[in-house]
Amino acid sequence: MVLLLLSVASACERWAQLTALAPLSAPGLDESSGVAPSRITRNQLWTHDDSGTPELFRFGIDGTYTVHEVPGAANEDWEDIASAPCGGREACLYVADIGAERPDPTSLQVYVVVEPDGDGPARLRERWELRWPGTPRDAETLLVDPCTQEAWIVTRGETTEVFAVDPTRGPSATDLLPVTSLPVGPITGGDFAPDGTGVVLRTQDAIWLWRKDPEAGVDWEEAPLLVADGLEPGEAITWEADGDLVLTSEGAPTAVGRLACELPSLEPQCTAGGCGCALSPASGPLPWAWLGLAGVGWGAVRRRASRTSSRPPSAPRSPARAP
């Protein structure tokens, strides 16, 4: 299995208004609580129900779909799904069983599933056993950096907290690591850009953007940019390879919407090989220098001496509105 060639337009400066796509009518999908792009098939996405049968739904924007069971997994309260590489050149789906409706709210599981490239069940590659430090939280968002496979869980509650998944975790339950709190919420979903250059988080009616420094990672302490507000209540969000954002909502049939990217960010802001992590099917990471494209960049990106996940929490700056 190989990873698809990601478009360099996966970063974006400005999005159009939300437009409705074909609804997804799939038996067994009553509450789409997460959505992620396929990394091996263009214009295909993945979603799941929030409880019941452990199965994934691959669907297109025309409403067509296939169903893939995940043998060895349990769906107690699946709340999000992320798409990122794993194990070298495999494409994987990271399914977050992290909701508050789990029988044991202190423990969480993330199922790492090899993305199916045909019909049939999805192969369970790995299971992360995680644990809340102290009081259990409610959470609906899993973020996996496609460049590094680092992962975060974002809580939903009166206070929005970011927790990192310990990269040194073993087979036994491992405590999540507190990182910071955010000035927006309650958060119902989020995703990394497919090339790892930014993060979006959504509430019921708004979308927020954090940029990622290629050397220092996501700076959660920077003021996020408001991408969109006044949206109809929704649940999940993902970032497609062309820069578009796709949203889904709970309920049957599943409502699907798109915010098309109006102003791509094509100008690299770092050295070749260190800006994003777009992948080709044959040769692995692509240096941005080969593109030879001129475009509108995100502006100068500040370098940080250490990664955000290693910094103690501090007061985040107030959100800002995107241009």
User: Quick one: which H or E segment has residue 254?
Assistant: none
Q: Is 192 helix (H, G, I), strand (E, B) or coil?
A: strand
Tell whether 156 is covered by a domain.
yes
User: Which stretches within 9-159 are classed as H helix?
Assistant: none
Residues 6+ apart with CB under 8 A from 74: 54, 97, 109
Query: For residue 3, is pLDDT > 60?
Result: no
Identify the CATH number of the domain in which residue 227 sits. 2.120.10
Angle, CA 122 vertex, CA 87 and CA 7 arms, to 5°: 60
Most confident of the ranges 44-48, 191-195, 218-222, 277-281: 44-48
Angle, CA 150 vertex, CA 181 and CA 264 arms, to 5°: 80
Backbone angles phi and psi of 223, in degrees to 5: -65, 125
> Please, what's the b/e burial string for 75-84 (b: 16 or more CB within 10 A of its CB; e: otherwise)?
bbbbbbbbbb
Residue 239: the pLDDT is: 94
Q: What is the pLDDT of residues 131-155, one digit of tens each?
A: 999 999 999 999 999 999 999 999 9
86 close to 92: Cβ distance less than 8 angstroms: yes
User: What does the mean pLDDT of the chain come to?
Assistant: 82
Whole-model pTM: value is 0.83
> Please, what's the b/e burial string for 23-36 (b: 16 or more CB within 10 A of its CB; e: otherwise)?
ebebeebebbbbbb
Tell whether 1 is covered by a domain.
no
Tell whether 3 is covered by a domain.
no
Residue 294: the pLDDT is: 26
Tell whether 2 is covered by a domain.
no
Cis peptide before 186 (omega within 30 of 0): yes
Overall domain count for the chain: 1
Question: HEC states along 83-113?
Answer: EEEECCCEEEEEEEECCCCCCCCCEEEEEEE
Kind of pairing between the strands at 123-131 and 174-175: parallel
Q: What is the pLDDT of residues 9-62, one digit of tens each?
A: 457 889 999 999 999 999 999 999 999 999 999 899 999 999 999 999 999 999
Residues in the chain: 323
Angle, CA 194 vertex, CA 219 and CA 309 arms, to 5°: 25
pLDDT band at 194 (very low <50, low <70, confident <90, very high): confident
CA distances 58 to 43, 173, 211, 242, Å, are 10, 30, 28, 18
Tell whether 316 is covered by a domain.
yes
Task: Please state which of the ranges 84-93, 229-238, 254-263 shows the lowest mean pLDDT.
Answer: 84-93
Tell whether 187 is covered by a domain.
yes
Domain that holds residue 57: 8-321
Query: Which amino acid does the sequence have at 18?
Result: L
pLDDT band at 304 (very low <50, low <70, confident <90, very high): very low
Q: Tell me how far apart the alpha carbons of residues 80 and 97 are, in angstroms, rounded to a whole number.
A: 8
Tell whether 29 is covered by a domain.
yes
Kind of pairing between the strands at 236-239 and 245-248: antiparallel
